[in-house]
């Protein structure tokens, strides 16, 4: 088992890893719209800006773990409001243009740092 750490995505904000690689699979932790340096300025912006940053963070963690968005098997999207579903879905689709991973989307009461969206992924190694 290997633990992933990259400066191309924000560090974990708790006692967990950005991702874990085991048995040919990368399991990412949930990503919110923090910048790679850990600053949270995007968390003051709308769900469009937040979702784009989340997907960039997710991609960086996957690459650091030896995978890519093209190798994602499943994602989970956590939304602060299901009213944002269509907007998040459209941005998500831009990042997954070549294939459509399995996915669950759930509304939650709150997310860390009051983010509007959080996404995690499970992917095959390249």
Measured CA angle at 122 (ends 89, 3), to 5 deg: 130
- φ, ψ of residue 81 to 5 degrees: the values are -150, 130
CATH of the domain at 67: 3.30.1330.40
Q: Please tell me the distance from the alpha carbon of residue 60 to that of residue 38, in angstroms, as a whole number.
A: 14
**Count of structural domains within the chain:** 1
Give just the sign of the alpha carbon dihedral 109, 115, 112, 14: positive
Residue 124's DSSP bridge partners are 25
Label residue 100 left, alpha or beta by phi (over 0 means left) and psi (-120 to 50 means alpha).
beta
Q: What is the pTM of this model?
A: 0.97
Q: What is the extent of the structural domain holding 94?
A: 2-124
Q: pLDDT tens across 21-80, in order?
A: 999 999 999 999 999 999 999 999 999 999 999 999 999 999 999 999 999 999 999 999
Q: Please tell me the distance from the alpha carbon of residue 25 to that of residue 76, in angstroms, as a whole number.
A: 16
Q: pLDDT tens across 98-112, in order?
A: 999 999 999 999 999
């Amino acid at each position: 088992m290997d633990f992933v750490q990259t400066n191309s995505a924000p560090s974990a904000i708790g006692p967990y890893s950005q991702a874990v690689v085991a048995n040919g699979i990368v399991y990412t932790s949930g990503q919110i719209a923090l910048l790679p340096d850990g600053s949270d300025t995007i968390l003051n912006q709308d769900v469009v800006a937040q979702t784009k940053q989340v997907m960039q963070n997710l991609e960086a963690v996957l690459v650091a773990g030896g995978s890519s968005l093209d190798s994602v098997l499943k994602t989970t999207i956590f939304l602060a409001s299901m009213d944002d579903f269509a907007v998040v879905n459209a941005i998500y689709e831009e990042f997954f243009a070549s294939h459509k991973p399995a996915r669950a989307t759930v509304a939650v009461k709150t997310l860390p740092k009051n983010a509007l969206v959080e996404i995690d992924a499970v992917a095959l190694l390249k």
